[in-house]
Amino acid sequence: MESNPDAALLEPTDTNANTPDDAPQDPQDSVPEPGQDAQLEEGQEPKAHKRSRVGPGQELSDEELVRRLTALLFASPEPLGVDRLVQLLERPRKQRVVAALEMLSQQLSQTGLPLEVRAIRGGHTLMTSADLGEVVGRLAKGNAIERISPAALETLAVIAYRQPVTKAEVEAIRGVQAGPVLRSLVDRGLVRVLGRADVPGHPLQYGTGKEFLDRFGLMELGDLPRDSELARD
């Protein structure tokens, strides 16, 4: 049987032949191949996952985002972290929430209102300006004002910088008994029990509590002044 040189012309045409390999595709139609996520750089997420995390809050204008953020900070009795704010604001992008916090801070400063956004205890809150502390303090007149004695302040400083620390270690540094002072600090929430030391007798170990960060206006323990800063003062 003779070969027909025109036979190739009669073969079915590949319907995908006219589609180049690099033709643009709808990103929502693309499905990651098995193992594709493993090829992403460390800390990078698939685009599909990133899209799923963005919610209706992303559609809010900057002005509306700041308004809702202000209401949340004002109404919350506790500082709100950025991740928590993202959820409460219906999942706008995290960068927008951070920018909204900065925008609110600038607006309060420009209007002259005695309010400011403060970063404290791992979150953000609205507080009155420090220069009006005396005025606001008049609200507490007639109530017992809880003060920290010098002995308690020294003990608290040792715990803050050396935690976790045992009662014996505190006493060795201060040179006096620390039992009553420690109990008082624990009762006031400034100090808490972290666990037991892995030494004979397994004594309790102490560290600072949330009230400590609130009382001294700290975002985290890393904000404590370092030795070099104290030496300059």
Domain boundary assignment for the chain: 56-129, 150-223
Top CATH class of 150-223 equals: mainly alpha
Cα–Cα distance, 179 to 167 (Å, whole number) = 7
Q: Is the per-residue pLDDT at 100 higher than 70?
A: yes
What would the mean pLDDT of 87-93 be, rounded to a whole number? 95
What is the pTM (predicted TM-score) of this model?
0.50
Q: Which pLDDT score, from 0 to 100, does residue 192 have?
A: 92
What would the mean pLDDT of 58-66 be, rounded to a whole number? 94
Q: Which pLDDT score, from 0 to 100, does residue 15 have?
A: 43
Q: Is the per-residue pLDDT at 169 higher than 80?
A: yes
The torsion defined by the Cα of 147, 148, 149 and 154, in degrees rounded to 10, comes to -170
Q: Which pLDDT score, from 0 to 100, does residue 14 have?
A: 45
Q: What is the mean pLDDT of the chain?
A: 78
Identify whether the C-beta of residue 117 lies closer than 8 Å to the C-beta of residue 126: yes
Q: Which pLDDT score, from 0 to 100, does residue 216 have?
A: 83
Q: Is the per-residue pLDDT at 142 higher than 90?
A: no
Low-confidence winner among 21-35, 85-99, 105-119, 142-156 (lowest mean pLDDT): 21-35
Asked if the domains 56-129 and 150-223 are classified in one and the same CATH topology, the answer is: yes
Q: Is the per-residue pLDDT at 221 higher than 90?
A: no
Beta strands in 101-166 (DSSP E): 115-120, 123-128, 165-166
Q: Over pLDDT 90: what percentage of the chain?
A: 45
Q: Is the per-residue pLDDT at 134 higher than 80?
A: yes
Q: Which pLDDT score, from 0 to 100, does residue 228 have?
A: 61
* CATH 3.10.300.10 describes domain 56-129: no
pLDDT band of residue 1 (cuts 50, 70, 90) is very low
pLDDT tens digit sequence for 171-220: 999 989 888 999 999 988 899 999 999 989 899 999 998 888 888 878 78
Distance from the Cα of residue 223 to its chain's centroid: 14
pLDDT band of residue 25 (cuts 50, 70, 90) is very low
More confident of the two residues 43 and 164: 164
Q: Which pLDDT score, from 0 to 100, does residue 39 have?
A: 46
Torsion angles phi and psi, residue 80, rounded to 5: -110, 125
Q: DSSP states of 9-28 as a string?
A: HHSPPPTTTTS-TT----TT
